[in-house]
Amino acid sequence: MQPAEQLSSPYVPEKATIKKITQLTETEKLFLLSIDSGRSLGHAPGQFVEVSLFGIGEGPISISSPPARDNTFELGVRAAGNLTRALHGLKAGDALGIRGPFGHGFPVESLMGKDLLFVAGGIGLVPLRSLIKYSLEHRDAFGRIIILFGARSPQERLFTDELAAWSKRSDIEFLETVDRSDDGWKGNVGVITTLFKEITIEPRKTAVMIVGPPVMYKYALLEVKEREVPKQNIWLSLERRMKCGLGKCGHCQINNYYVCQDGPVFAYSQIEEKEEAL
């Protein structure tokens, strides 16, 4: 048994147990986990953890659930590499290692009182879901809530039960689209930026959160800037660039920023001059 002081080190993983696994799509699963020590993860929306499997490796994964009072949290995982494919092979009751949470998330306190516009492309909904669910749990603390979601196809839509519930709520505005439809799809068809023509916003009152694939950032930013949202009110996640989580490996460095420590969530005003890195 390692000394207790070593277990509190950010370099040493804690043991966590899988409580439940939900198949979201053919390639994505949602893992409900609990930390064996009983401690709450204590994360902010937009933060991430380092997940490890002995003999396989370690990688950063965004937290998909809002802050909880107990020791449970959720991770949405796409099977894309050795570690994530190994995670997809686990079952409820299996254990893994957790370090974190790490990084800076969304500025929840400064968002209160503002209208919120969420722009989620594909798996970008996984980290944004943490803040979306937080804002819905504290609905009176925010103004309008607008959610735009785009997927490549109907089969790749994530959290379909939640999407259906959001579409029925009268206190939020939810729009979604798919790049390619099929015979059963009755909704919008087109890239996510086509949804902007369906909404109006008050730019000075609105905070915009954008998370999605790299190609989406350029065009979503064009839409938001055209509507004159202040640069300091536009928030983006650069989570895909992270590796160690502690600013040691240099993998995520963008000039003077370490994404894992200074981000992964940045205001556009912070990184405007580094837009080619998005």
The pLDDT tens digits for 55-65 are 999 999 999 99
- Check pLDDT > 50 for residue 96: yes
Cβ-defined contacts of 133-137 (< 8 Å, 24+): 133/65, 133/66, 134/45, 134/66, 134/67, 134/108, 135/111, 136/172, 137/66
Q: What is the pLDDT of residue 184?
A: 87
Q: What is the pLDDT of residue 202?
A: 97
DSSP code for 13: P
Cα–Cα distance, 175 to 115 (Å, whole number): 16
Q: What is the pLDDT of residue 247?
A: 62
Cα–Cα distance, 52 to 96 (Å, whole number): 6
DSSP code for 27: S
Q: What percent of the chain has pLDDT over 70?
A: 87
The architecture that CATH gives domain 4-102 is: Beta Barrel (2.40)
- The pair of structure tokens assigned to 150 is 């785009």
The H-or-E segment that residue 269 falls in is helix 268-271
SS3 category, 211: strand
Q: Where are the beta strands (DSSP E) in 184-277?
A: 188-189, 206-211, 234-237, 253-254, 257-258, 265-267
The H-or-E segment that residue 121 falls in is strand 115-121
Q: What is the pLDDT of residue 183?
A: 85
- Check pLDDT > 90 for residue 3: no
* Tally of CA atoms within 13 A in the half-sphere of 220 that contains its CB: 27
Per-domain residue ranges for the chain?
Answer: 4-102, 108-277
Cα–Cα distance, 171 to 270 (Å, whole number): 32
Q: What is the pLDDT of residue 264?
A: 84
Phi, psi torsion values for 32, nearest 5 degrees: -95, 120
- Check pLDDT > 70 for residue 180: yes
- Pick 59 or 11 by higher pLDDT: 59
Task: Provide CATH code, domain 108-277.
Answer: 3.40.50.80
pTM as predicted: 0.91
The H-or-E segment that residue 3 falls in is none
Cα–Cα distance, 43 to 23 (Å, whole number): 24
- The pair of structure tokens assigned to 269 is 């005003």
Q: What is the pLDDT of residue 4?
A: 38
Say if CB 117 and CB 211 are below 8 A apart: no
CA 163 to chain centre: 15
Cα–Cα distance, 77 to 87 (Å, whole number): 8
CA 31 to chain centre: 14
Q: What angle do CA 44, 226, 231 make, to 5 degrees?
A: 40
Say if CB 88 and CB 82 are below 8 A apart: no
DSSP code for 139: G
- pLDDT range class, residue 1, cuts 50, 70, 90: very low
Q: Could you read off the pLDDT of 98-138 as tens digits, one per residue? A: 999 999 999 999 999 999 999 999 999 999 999 999 999 99
Residue range 243-261: average pLDDT? 65
DSSP code for 271: H
Q: Could you read off the pLDDT of 262-276 as tens digits, one per residue? A: 668 888 988 877 666
